[in-house]
Amino acid sequence: MAKYIFVTGGVTSSLGKGIIAASLAKLLQSRGLKCTIQKFDPYINVDPGTLNPYEHGECFVTDDGAETDLDLGHYERFLNIPASQANNVTTGRIYQTVINKEREGAYLGKTVQVIPHITDEIKRRMLLLGKEGKYDIIITELGGTVGDIESLPFVEAVRQLQWEMPEEDCMVVHLTLIPYLNAAKELKTKPTQHSVRMLSQEGVHPDVIVCRTEQPLNNDLKKKIALFCNVKPEAVIEAMDASSIYEVPLKMLQEGLDVIVLKKLQINGYAAPELTKWRSFLDKLQYPKTKVTIGLIGKYIELQDAYKSILEAFIHAGAVNECKVKIVNVHSEFITDDIVADKLKDLDGLLVAPGFGHRGVEGKIIAVKYARENKLPFFGICLGMQMAVIEYARNVLGWADAHSTEMDSKTTHPVIDLMEEQKTIQAKGGTMRLGAYPCEIKEGSLAHTIYDTKTISERHRHRWEFNNKYMADFENAGMVPSGKNPASGLVEIVELPDHPFFIGVQYHPELKSTVENPQPIFVHFIKAAKEFAEKKTAIKNPLLQSEMI
Ligand code: GLN
């Protein structure tokens, strides 16, 4: 029988509920408990797949092809276990299920209402993962902030579950903000008191209060929060700003968050936390020996959440290489032939990001050309891979108008074309080629060196693909399709053997990078960037060069 922890948020959004939930899960996992985390989002979209990255950040894709909230990426990166569709539920999905059932006649004769029909469906889904028998603890993060109209049914579902379950099987952790008023030189607890009161009015009382703060909370302050919010003083947990999200589990360990949770859930006989791998990762992260500068070429660079998994995969790969990875964001719309060298000259590696639509693609193609010609390590992901193919077609094969039919439906050389099965699809939500697919790797290729295995599985999210009609032309000209889907023959990886490191992948390798399993292409890309940087220094410093010889 699984136990349930609900994580709510108060005062303001963006406090990092996902990181707190993931950190708590990590600590419980490190003590030998099997945990998973799920997120319930109050918006009406059935999933975040149709949301603009500017609006909601990256869309995280699971192995089973669910388009989900980016917090699921944190859950996977922390816990090192894959999430699935069941781990992310929205109001839209809840209503869709209830309305479909109503149309089927499941509620014949009854008025379908928020309570009990919507709340029952929320509760059913909240308990779903616990029924699998795989987990000891299910942590449920409630999206939004307490007091929002749209999160009311979720809070009500938690209230009912708390009432239905034995006390030791269910608890609520509330994350709030303790603002520091510079003028008064004081931390303020009132917003927290209000938010706990609001939650209590909705019938849910928190067992633990986690306080985001820029300044340490002293014992008096903790006591004050405890008294006014009606929790034990040891249940007031300080969550100071950390320099890396990966430090948060250790901070929570110090504060005893896991112990108070275990006590409330009456879980006895748990092991001491085993965090050796985590600590060694943090050590490498905090004390790098070298540094590389990587250019991230994309069009959503104003919002860092749009490339969340890529940025995190760089952190994991940097730690493996004991190397600080500095990311320089380059807006693809502003890259032109005249300024490309100036913009990219200080880089040690170039990553062309995924994306949709025509805006900014010409800049991406120019950047690929620069990397190819200047032997700058290159890594293209999804649209980034497609841009590498187009660049090669235009500048090496000499097909000046080569393009993807996504951007130019009339091109005479559609080197990237809509996948066959996509041609009849009209609806937008959940209809891309999504989720994990196997890929067979060509022996002796760069991809083979990187993965050190013949068959891999990576996650996808796209509609267009390499046009196999042109395969022989590319191969004859020197671009190698080094990974293919065994069933369909779709090209998943392209590379250039006459370049020190040039690889483009149709899938999203960043989605599978975790602290304990850094993604191998990212690891090798950073290694290549380090070598590129070393060569540059050797050339700039002849003394070093002669020492190297
Ligand atoms: N727009 C491209 C496609 O759908 C690439 C998608 C992506 O980068 N995720 O094929």
Q: What is the pLDDT of residues 16-25, one digit of tens each?
A: 999 999 999 9
Provide the token pair at 106.
């499941």
DSSP string, 423-436: TT----TT-SEEEE
pLDDT for residue 545 is more than 60 = no
The alpha carbon of 462 and the centre of ligand 1 are apart by a number of angstroms equal to 4
- Ligand 1: which of 332, 352, 390, 406 to mutate, most ligand atoms within 8 Å of CB? 406
State whether the beta carbon of 463 lies less than 6 angstroms from ligand 1. Answer: yes
- In the residue annotation, 170 being an active-site residue is answered as no
State how far the Cα of 362 lies from the Cα of 337, in Å rounded to an integer: 10
Pick the atom of ligand 1 nearest to 381's CA: 8
What CA–CA distance (Å, rounded) separates 226 from 125? Answer: 32
Is 357 within 8 Å of 377 (Cβ atoms)?
A: no
Q: How many residues does the chain have?
A: 549
Give CA–CA dist 354/310, Å, rounded.
Answer: 10
Determine contact, residues 343/371, Cβ cutoff 8 Å.
no
For 60-105, what is each residue's pLDDT tens digit?
Answer: 999 999 999 999 999 999 999 999 999 999 999 999 999 999 999 9
CA distance 428 to 264: 45
Q: Is the CB of 462 under 6 A from ligand 1?
A: yes
Helix ranges (H only) for 212-320 are 219-229, 248-255, 257-264, 276-286, 308-320
| Residue from 61, 383, 432 whose mutation best tests the ligand 1 pocket (most atoms within 8 A of CB) | 383
Residue linked to tokens 């928020």: 114
Q: How many helices (H) and strands (E) does the chain have?
A: 19, 23
- What distance in Å separates the CA atoms of residue 23 and residue 17, rounded to the nearest whole number? 10
Which residue's C-alpha comes closest to atom 1 of ligand 1? 356
* Ligand 1 within 6 A of CB of 156: no
Best residue among 405, 464, 465 to mutate for probing ligand 1, ranked by most atoms within 8 Å of CB: 464
Inform me whether the pLDDT recorded for 273 exceeds 50.
Answer: yes
Nearest one of 509, 506, 510 to 383, comparing CA atoms: 506
Please confirm, yes or no, whether 508 is among the known catalytic residues: yes
What is the tens place of the pLDDT at every residue in 282-322? 999 999 999 999 999 998 888 889 999 999 999 999 999 99
Please give the mean pLDDT across all residues of the chain.
95
- In the annotation, is 382 catalytic? yes
- State if pTM tops 0.85: yes
Q: How confident is the model at residue 549 (pLDDT cuts 50, 70, 90)?
A: very low
Q: Give the closest residue (by CA) to ligand 1 atom 5.
A: 383
Q: Following DSSP, what letter does each residue of 17-46 receive, concatenated?
A: HHHHHHHHHHHHHHTT--EEEEEEE-SSSS
Evaluate: CB of 6 within 6 angstroms of ligand 1: no
